[in-house]
């Protein structure tokens, strides 16, 4: 599950029409369309995901500049950006209500079901226009394929591994070395307490609502060698929410909350609100996707100097890093002209910046000049070589403090990765929100009983 | 007119009984046979214009209220993702009844309704009675009481979320700290969360009810108070024997409206806590929302409509029972 980005309750109708911008041109206006196909004459208006509601003005300016570049390249396509943040609890309502933009983002794990439900447009023909269609990481691309083998959703934006993010300033204030972040869960607890005792600020926090509590608990479970569901040989799935790793992590959270008082006691934190709290200096450490710095800079105005990232502590035989990612998809109602425009936009906004030197540099320049993150570590959508090549192109514009993330970047390609639970993903996460909230709010929370209850319900969902 | 007149006037109103009585039917005067009117005459007498005038209303109600209601009833017997549907009989109802969260949601909703009744019901009444005794500045107080109703609910909740900050420097905790209380966890506690929601809901809704009571109070003839005063009644005596009996009808209506309203509470738990912590504020409506939209792939529209239907039937039965029960009270 990628970043819980969706419209917030306040911004359900917050569609912002981005006007045409004059005066910004790509370096080469004669750039051919992907696949070399000339743009048609018919005027198409395409609504697309712009940024998370509440993003910094500079980020919107950068977006608008990229839109202007696109519209110059394809004069017959009129792009309108819509503020959007995918969130489990509002996505279905937007989908059912038809309020999603033409091109929207979904988590990797949701694609199969949406395709099965007929809720995504078949992009197979349009996808074939991309001259790099054959070069995607096959496992990622497969997540967006239907049973008919057609492509319905395209890996875009980023693929991330969950990592531990921390506030270097608070580390220093607590007498900790910010270049030596914790590497075991025991150290996380120890550091959190030291930070709380020295600064009065919560040393650690966890997301807890809108399924994100379960998402991060699952990530922690993987990092301790556990799994929340297992496939059997006969094709059925067994829920294992009550595994020892999940239990151990909840026990740690409970001890941090009630014994150490080092855990931020807030059950209303989700992907975006925990970012806010982190940027506001209300917590020192939390886990989320490796690419969060982009959002912290775009939306929360974080000064990257205080930011640090390190790898998730991996403990136990089967320990692994939870990976997730974002796919770009198009609404099922879209006609061929819209689909064609959509694939051009997906190429321009999400993918060409990873593959085409000119586009990569143009994008990096725009982002750099707007003070947005360039070079934030993510996992490759194509290949490691392509990713390293892309970083080399952008080298002059990289403005994120990569030397403050070596704890992650040194090992990101070596860590074992584990995909999200493949069945009833969001439901499983929702069920796991409950024990997370319980240990945050109840000193005597009965962890085994909570997990047993959640497991029973998860199994019922898997048996459906 | 004195209090006695009012009493005697009330006495001549026949006490209703539930169900049509055979006597009543027999006693009804026979209607004169209706003369068939020609279409032209019907138009001339305004029949057409009546229909034309009513049409927009009927269409709007039909399309936006009755059609969705009918559709929901149909969907409760289907498994559907809004694109395809097939009939599943009573499966949705069985699935809802087997959901371990249902009893939790029902209990939470009942708890909310009870708390809202205990705190939320008397507050506007007391407020209105006090305001009605004011000789000056009544308008100002009405405005102040009604102001929260004008604040958009989402804004109000976000504001209160801020007040409910569990840290010692949170607004409420800071204020309570001055008198040595707290800090309280407010929304971050499974026991305190629901009363916190009720507090905000009461603040948000009281103004509307105050206005209704104030309007009803203006219908109380001032002579009654004068008469009561002559008879040596205290303030409490006047309220008890003059004010409350006059408000009885309104009170009975607002009571059932409040029950229906609180049984459908959604906004506060959705925006404040999302049903948490640990399902402590999951209400029936929030559960319906979760069935339908709660998961990103939410396709349990069948279960959602089934539970909606069950709630609607329950509230309808409750309302009927309430009106039967109180029919005598309200006319006396």
Domain with CATH 3.40.190.10 in chain A: 9-159+325-404, 161-323+414-463
Cis amide bond preceding B199, omega within 30: no
In angstroms, rounded to a whole number, what is the distance separating the alpha carbons of residues A11 and A38? 37
Of the candidates A96, A268, A457, the beta carbon closest to that of B187 is on A268
Q: Do A106 and B296 touch (CB under 8 A)?
A: yes
Searching chain A, which residue's CA lies closest to the CA of residue B189? A441
What's the pLDDT band for B41 if we cut at 50, 70, 90? confident
Q: Which of A9, A92, A119 sits opposite B154 (nearest CB)?
A: A9
Q: Taking CB atoms and an 8 Å limit, are A86 and B84 in contact across chains?
A: no
Check: CB of residue B147 under 8 Å from CB of residue B156.
no
The answer to whether B295 contacts A426, with C-beta atoms less than 8 Å apart, is yes
pLDDT tens, position by position, A120-163: 999 999 898 888 988 888 878 888 998 899 999 999 988 899 99
User: Based on the number of CB atoms within 10 Å of its own CB, is B225 exposed (0-12), middle (13-18) or buried (19 or more)?
Assistant: middle
Q: Say what the ipTM of the complex is.
A: 0.74
User: Over 60: is that where the pLDDT of B95 sits?
Assistant: yes
Beta strands in A344-431 (DSSP E): 417-418
pLDDT in tens, B114-156: 999 988 888 888 888 888 877 788 888 888 889 999 999 999 9
The pLDDT of residue A298: 85
Q: What is the number of H-type helices and E-type strands within chain B? A: 18, 2
pLDDT at A21: 26
- CB-closest option in B271, B276, B293 to A92: B293
Q: Which of A203, A289, A215 has the alpha carbon at shortest distance from A253?
A: A203
Identify the CA nearest to A81 among candidates A19, A131, A30: A19
- Partners of B297 on chain A (C-beta within 8 Å) are 92, 110, 113-114, 117, 426
Across the range B263-280, mean pLDDT stands at 90
Out of A110, A265, A442, the one facing B166 most closely (by C-beta) is A265
The partner residue sitting opposite A92, judged by closest CB among B271, B273, B296, is: B296
What are the sequence ranges of the domains in chain B? Answer: 37-75, 92-331
Q: Is A201 on the interface with B (CB under 8 A)?
A: no
- Of the pLDDT bands very low, low, confident and very high (cuts 50, 70, 90), residue A289 is very high
Model confidence pLDDT, tens digit, residues B163-219: 998 888 889 999 999 998 878 889 989 999 999 999 999 999 888 888 888 888 888
Task: Judge whether residue B7 has pLDDT over 60.
Answer: no
Domain covering A161-323+414-463 in this structure, CATH number: 3.40.190.10
The secondary structure of B31-99 as a DSSP string is PPPPPPPPHHHHHHTTHHHHHHHHHHHHHHHIIIIIHHHHHHHHHTTEEE-SS-EEE-TTHHHHHHHH-
Q: Which fold has domain A9-159+325-404?
A: D-Maltodextrin-Binding Protein; domain 2 (3.40.190)
Q: Which of A313-317, B78-82, B305-309 has the lowest mean pLDDT?
A: B78-82
DSSP string, A276-315: HHHHTTSEEEEEEETTHHHHHHHTT---GGGEEEEEPP--
Q: Which residue stretches of B264-300 are H helix?
A: 267-268, 284-289
Query: Token digits for B172?
Result: 């409420």
| pLDDT, position B9 | 38
| Cβ contacts of B40 within 8 Å, gap of 6 or more | none
Task: Examine the pLDDT at A24 and tell me if it is beyond 50.
Answer: no
Distance from CA of A87 to the nearest CA of B (A): 7
Cβ atoms B284, B109 nearer than 8 A: yes
- Report the topology of domain B92-331: MetI-like fold (1.10.3720)
Query: What is the Cα–Cα distance from A178 to A181, expressed in whole angstroms?
Result: 6
Q: Looking at the complex, does the CB of residue A8 fall below 8 Å from at least one CB of chain B?
A: no
Q: Which residues of A touch B154 (CB under 8 A)?
A: 9-10
Residue A95, pLDDT score:
83
Residue A238, SS3 per DSSP:
strand
Of B189, B276, B295, the CB nearest to A92: B295
Gap from A71 CA to chain B (nearest CA, Å): 32
Interface of A with B in 398-427 (CB under 8 A): 426-427
Identify the closest residue of chain B to A91 by CA–CA distance.
Answer: B296
CB contact under 8 A, B295 and A427: yes
Instruction: Quickly count: other Cβ atoms within 10 Å of residue A443's Cβ.
Output: 9
Question: For A13-17, B197-201, B318-322, which range has the lowest pLDDT when averaged over its residues?
Answer: A13-17
Measured in angstroms, the CA of A138 and the nearest CA of chain B are apart by: 24
A9 in reach of chain B (CB within 8 A): yes
């Amino acid at each position: 599950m990628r970043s819980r980005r969706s419209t917030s309750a306040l911004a359900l109708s917050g569609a912002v029409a981005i006007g045409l911008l004059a005066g910004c041109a790509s370096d080469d206006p004669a750039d051919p369309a992907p696949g070399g196909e000339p743009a048609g004459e018919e005027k198409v208006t395409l609504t697309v995901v712009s940024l998370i509601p509440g993003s910094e003005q500079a980020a919107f300016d950068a977006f608008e500049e990229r839109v202007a570049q696109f519209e110059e390249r394809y004069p017959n396509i009129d792009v309108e950006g819509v503020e959007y943040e995918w969130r489990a609890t509002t996505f279905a309502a937007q989908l059912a209500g038809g309020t999603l933009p033409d091109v929207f983002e979904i988590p990797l794990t949701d694609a199969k079901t949406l395709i099965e439900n007929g809720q995504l447009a078949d992009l197979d023909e349009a996808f074939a226009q991309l001259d790099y269609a054959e070069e995607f990481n096959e496992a990622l691309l497969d997540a967006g394929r239907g049973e008919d083998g057609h492509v319905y959703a395209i890996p875009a934006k980023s693929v991330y591994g969950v990592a531990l993010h921390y506030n270097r300033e608070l580390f220093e204030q607590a007498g900790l070395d910010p270049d030596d972040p914790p590497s075991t869960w025991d150290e996380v607890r120890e550091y959190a307490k030291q930070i709380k005792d020295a600064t009065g600020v919560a040393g650690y926090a966890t997301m807890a609502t809108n399924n994100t509590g379960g998402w991060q608990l699952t990530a922690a479970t993987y990092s301790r060698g556990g799994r929340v569901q297992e496939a059997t040989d006969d094709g059925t799935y067994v829920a294992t929410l009550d595994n020892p790793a999940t239990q151990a992590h909840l026990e740690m959270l409970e001890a941090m909350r009630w014994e150490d008082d080092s855990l931020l006691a807030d059950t209303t934190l989700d992907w975006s609100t925990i970012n806010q709290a982190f940027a506001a200096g209300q917590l020192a450490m939390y886990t989320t996707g490796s690419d969060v710095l982009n959002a912290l800079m775009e939306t929360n105005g974080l000064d990257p100097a205080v930011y640090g990232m390190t790898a998730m502590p991996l403990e136990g035989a089967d320990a692994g890093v939870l990976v997730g990612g974002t796919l770009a998809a198009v609404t099922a109602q879209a006609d061929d002209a819209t689909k064609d425009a959509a694939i051009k936009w997906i190429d321009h906004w999400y993918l060409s910046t990873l593959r085409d030197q000119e586009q990569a540099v143009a994008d990096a320049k725009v982002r750099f000049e707007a003070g947005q993150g360039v070079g934030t570590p993510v996992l490759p959508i194509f290949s490691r070589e392509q990713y390293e090549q892309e970083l080399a192109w952008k080298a002059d514009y990289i403005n994120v403090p990569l030397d403050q993330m070596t704890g992650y970047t040194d090992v990101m390609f070596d860590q074992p990765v584990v995909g999200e639970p493949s069945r009833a993903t969001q439901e499983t996460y929702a069920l796991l929100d409950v024990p997370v909230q319980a240990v945050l709010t109840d000193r005597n929370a009965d962890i085994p009983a909570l997990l047993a209850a959640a497991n029973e319900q998860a199994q019922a969902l898997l048996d459906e | 007119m004195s209090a006695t007149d009012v009493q005697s006037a009330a006495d001549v109103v026949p006490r209703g009984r539930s169900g049509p009585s055979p006597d009543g039917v027999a006693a009804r005067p026979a209607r004169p046979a209706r003369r068939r009117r020609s279409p032209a005459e019907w138009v001339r007498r305004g029949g057409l214009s009546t229909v034309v005038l009513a049409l927009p209303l009927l269409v709007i109600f039909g399309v936006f209220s009755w059609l969705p209601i009918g559709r929901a009833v149909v969907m409760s017997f289907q498994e559907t993702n809004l694109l395809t549907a097939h009939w599943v009989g009573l499966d949705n109802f069985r699935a809802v009844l087997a959901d371990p969260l249902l009893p939790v949601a029902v209990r939470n909703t009942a708890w909310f309704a009870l708390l809202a009744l205990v705190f939320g019901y008397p507050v506007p009444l007391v407020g209105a009675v006090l305001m009605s005794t004011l000789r000056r500045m009544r308008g100002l107080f009405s405005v102040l009481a009604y102001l929260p109703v004008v604040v958009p609910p989402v804004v109000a909740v976000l504001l209160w979320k801020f007040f409910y900050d569990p840290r010692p420097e949170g607004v409420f905790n800071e204020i309570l700290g001055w008198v040595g209380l707290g800090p309280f966890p407010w929304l971050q506690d499974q026991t305190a969360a629901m009363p916190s929601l009720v507090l905000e809901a009461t603040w948000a809704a009281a103004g509307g009810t105050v206005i209704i009571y104030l309007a009803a109070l203006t219908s109380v003839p001032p002579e009654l108070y004068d008469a009561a005063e002559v008879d040596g009644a205290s303030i409490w005596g006047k309220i008890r024997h003059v004010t409350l009996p006059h408000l009885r009808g309104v009170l009975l209506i607002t009571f059932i409206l409040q029950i229906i309203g609180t049984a459908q509470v959604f906004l506060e738990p959705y925006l404040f806590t999302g049903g948490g912590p640990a399902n402590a504020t999951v209400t029936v409506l929030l559960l319906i929302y979760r069935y339908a939209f709660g998961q990103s792939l939410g396709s349990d529209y069948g279960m959602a409509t089934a539970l909606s239907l069950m709630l609607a039937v329950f509230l309808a039965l409750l309302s009927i029972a309430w009106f039967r029960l109180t029919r005598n009270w309200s006319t006396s």
